[in-house]
Amino acid sequence: MGEGAAGCFGRSRDKGVEMKTFGWREIDSSLFRGYIDESYNDQVFVLSCLIAGAHSWLWIGWDWEECIERWNRRLKDQGRQTISRYHATYCSNLKDEFEGWSIDEQKELTGDLIKVLDGHPLHTLAFAIDMERFHAVFPNAEKEARPDVTGFIYGMATKFLVYTLADQVCPQRPDADVSLVHDQCPYDAVMSDAFKQCGADADFKYPDNFSTFESKSTQDCTPLEPTDFLAYINFKESLGMLSGKKRSKPLEILISLETFGGGIKFLGEDALKALKEWFESHSQSTVE
């Protein structure tokens, strides 16, 4: 998409954070599976994708479920409410099924889940949009965006994800068969249309490498739970870059893992202007 849109990494409001990169050649299969989730508030919107080979996802899913089952046995033995699944927001805020948990238990569960991910070649690709700067670049978005501002951002971020993922993966792995799954949300149709528009774009170099884009519920798709885990960590890191807070301990641990790579790209004003110009030349769905 060009250097103006993609920019470079580095922990700052205008850039992002780059994690250790092991290279896409380390993915253990030509069947790439990327799971997508988002986290946002009125300050920042973050779309995250967690990518691994199909074989790795089988092991991650089994180990993740075993970890949750182990915790449920422990909770049941203590006469406490079990958890139906991992939910990052609830766990972080000790709400809903995590009500009554101690901070030490929260930290212990987080550590256990990181251990599940350790040893598997995983790559996270996340994009954070500074909402204040978004509205500076798209001043009429509230009136003109379709279906609404949030939907427009979902579509824009989905396209940016597909194009960036293609540019990173396909030159190294021309054999890659990429399938993407998104956690169900009100904007499933918007994201699906954005994916189809990428495939129909005459300038898109790798349409044959991207096979499917579908939405599933977390209840029916275990890999969306670690995706939620990473999406929330990336969201908190993005908020930290805005406020100047220190990086979270879970992200520090993830960065240290030998087989974990990727980064968060923070789209500041310059990147958003480049994106606006690029999308205006490649899509009819834009706002001023």
**What's the confidence (pLDDT) of residue 43?**
93
Average pLDDT estimate for 119-134: 91
**What's the confidence (pLDDT) of residue 98?**
98
pLDDT band at residue 20, thresholds of 50, 70 and 90? low
Summarised one tens digit per residue, pLDDT across range 76-115 is 999 999 999 999 999 999 999 999 999 999 999 999 999 9
> Quick check: 282 pLDDT over 50?
yes
Summarised one tens digit per residue, pLDDT across range 182-235 is 999 999 999 999 999 999 999 999 999 999 999 999 999 999 999 999 999 999
Domain ranges of the chain: 3-282
**What's the confidence (pLDDT) of residue 191?**
97
Side-by-side strand order, sheet with 122-130 = 16-18, 260-267, 122-130, 44-53, 31-40, 177-183, 210-216
- Decide: 121 and 256 in contact? Cβ < 8 Å: no
pTM of the model: 0.89
Residues 44, 153: Cα–Cα separation, whole Å: 11
CATH fold label, 3-282: Nucleotidyltransferase; domain 5 (3.30.420)
pLDDT band at residue 245, thresholds of 50, 70 and 90? confident
Q: Which of 186, 3, 204 is nearest to 195 (CA)?
A: 204
Which of 46-50, 118-122, 270-274 shows the highest mean pLDDT? 46-50
**What's the confidence (pLDDT) of residue 10?**
39
Look-up of token digits 């641990």: 253
Summarised one tens digit per residue, pLDDT across range 246-272 is 888 999 999 888 889 888 888 878 878
Residues in the chain: 288
